Copies of this chain bind each other. A is one copy, B any other.
Amino acid sequence: MKTTIYDVAEKAGVSISTVSKVMNDQQVGKKSKQKVLKVMQELNYRPSVLASALTGKRTSTIGLLLPDLANPFVAEMARRVEDRAHEFGFSLVICSTDLNPEKEERSVSLLRQKSVDGFILASAFNNRRVIADLVDDNVPVLLLSESHPQFAVNSINIDNIVGGYQVASHLVSLGHTRIAVIGEDATSSQQRINGYKQAFQESGLTVHEDLIAISDSSVEHAQRLTKELLNHPKKPTAIIACNDVLAIAAILAAREIGLDIPKDLSITGFDNTLLSKSCDPPLTTVEQGLDKMCAQAVDLLIEEIEGKSTSKQRILVLPQLVIRKSTAFCQD
């Protein structure tokens, strides 16, 4: 049998409430405290989080929902969130949603049954009704690298518009005018695309909507889309990918067609993952201050969970262009 608070109490010759009090750092006589502590050691006692949570305490567990844990960028985020959460004694239940609204709903519902203390919706979360329910029910929620301005929830984000603007401007300054975009069905991609459009307009260039493609998250689909884009009558000389994984898919596709990068085609990524450094050629991409973002996210959420802060914040972090070898002057 697992050892319970009763076992400890009995062996220490005190009542269970005394034991409970030493666990919760409440006023207890020195002698009793020593004794209890000692017995807890001896019995290798581990208080049940279940039982204590049932009485209204926290489970010290956060639900982390993200599109796909297998995506290296997402995994990097998860790891950083995890580290910070651990510092506060919280653990993470992680669910990949594949951007699928039903999965999103199921996961949240399941985690609520398991009484997680709060949620971090990271990178992209589509099902707004689910967010609305969470907000209605006063469940702490934080949006990380995702934004839904209609909800009054804590959120922390890079300025994707600026990021999209930065890559587009960079390409334009290299002489490119026919620039395709490949993104995902997510707010962040949408915003990056908006930044791109802004840059185009400022430079007096026309945006061609049919040079903008939206991929599901599979590498295969992205490659197919890339090939289609490259076969477009207004053959683009550059492709902006809305994340590094897409960029790499684009590189592979372009190479299959026999294109040299960056000579024949410039490609940019987004996120500055490990991938972008090690691929061939190394990617021009956009760096976000992931580390701080994730740490802040956890801090904010835990503050809300512990009721230490009642006001919500929306934090915007500015991104930074990292120029590597995948972009070059337009040869056209």
Q: Are A91 and B79 in contact (CB under 8 A)?
A: no
A50-B54, A278-B251, A281-B280 are contacts. A91–B75 as well, Cβ < 8 Å?
A: no
A92 CA to B275 CA, complexed, in Å: 26
Which residue of chain B lies nearest to A54 when distances are taken between CB atoms in the complex? B50
Q: Is the CB of A51 within 8 A of B49?
A: no
- Shortest distance from the beta carbon of A188 to any chain B beta carbon, whole Å: 19
The docked-state distance in angstroms from the alpha carbon of A43 to that of B92 is 29
Given known A49-B114, A50-B54, A280-B280, contact A93–B96 (CB-CB < 8 A): no
Whether the Cβ atoms of A69 and B59 lie closer than 8 Å is no
- Segment among A29-37, A105-113, A167-175, A307-315 that sits at the interface with chain B: A105-113
CB <8 Å contact, B78 and A115: no
Q: Is the CB of A46 within 8 A of B113?
A: yes
User: When chains A and B are docked, how far (Å) is the Cα of A110 from the Cα of B49?
Assistant: 9
Q: Does A7 contact B (CB under 8 A)?
A: no
A93 and B91 contact, Cβ closer than 8 Å, known pairs A54-B51, A109-B46: yes
Given A274-B72, A278-B275, A280-B281, do A96 and B113 touch, yes or no (CB 8 Å)? Answer: no
Chain A 248-290 per-residue mask, 1 if CB under 8 angstroms from chain B, else 0:
1001100000000000000000000011011111100000000
Q: Does A322 contact B (CB under 8 A)?
A: no
> A61 contacts the other chain (Cβ, under 8 Å)?
yes
Residues of B within 8 A of A282 (CB): 280
Whole-angstrom distance from the CB of A36 to the nearest CB of chain B? 18
Q: Write the A58-90 contact mask toward B (1 if CB under 8 angstroms, else 0).
A: 011100000011111011101110110010010
Cross-chain contact of A53 among B46, B50, B71, B74 (Cβ < 8 A): B50
Neighbour of A61 across the interface among B80, B93, B277, CB < 8 A: B93
Residue count of chain A within 8 Å CB distance of chain B: 52
Q: Which residues of B contact A49 (CB under 8 A)?
A: 113-115
Contact with B along A89-102 (1 / 0, CB 8 A): 10111111000000
Q: How far is the CA of A279 from the CA of B111 in the complex (A)?
A: 38
What is the 8 Å Cβ interface bit string for chain A, positions 149-179, against chain B (1 contact, 0 not)? 0000000000000000000000000000000
How many Å lie between the Cα of A54 and that of B279 in the bound state? 50
Expressed in whole angstroms, the Cα–Cα distance for A60 and B50 within the complex equals 13
Q: Of residues A48, A95, A114, A248, which shows the largest number of chain B Cβ atoms within 10 Å of its Cβ?
A: A114
* Chain B residue at minimum C-beta to C-beta distance from A137: B2
Given A48-B54, A92-B95, 20 additional A-B pairs, CB 8 A: A46-B109, A48-B113, A49-B113, A49-B114, A50-B53, A54-B54, A59-B114, A60-B114, A70-B75, A70-B76, A70-B78, A70-B79, A82-B94, A82-B95, A92-B94, A93-B93, A93-B94, A248-B274, A248-B278, A251-B278
Q: Which residues of A contact B (CB under 8 A)?
A: 46-51, 53-54, 59-61, 68-72, 74-76, 78-80, 82-83, 86, 89, 91-96, 109-115, 219, 245, 248, 251-252, 274-275, 277-282
Q: List 14 A-B contacts (CB under 8 A).
A: A48-B115, A50-B54, A50-B114, A51-B54, A69-B69, A72-B72, A72-B274, A75-B78, A82-B94, A91-B95, A92-B95, A219-B274, A275-B275, A275-B278
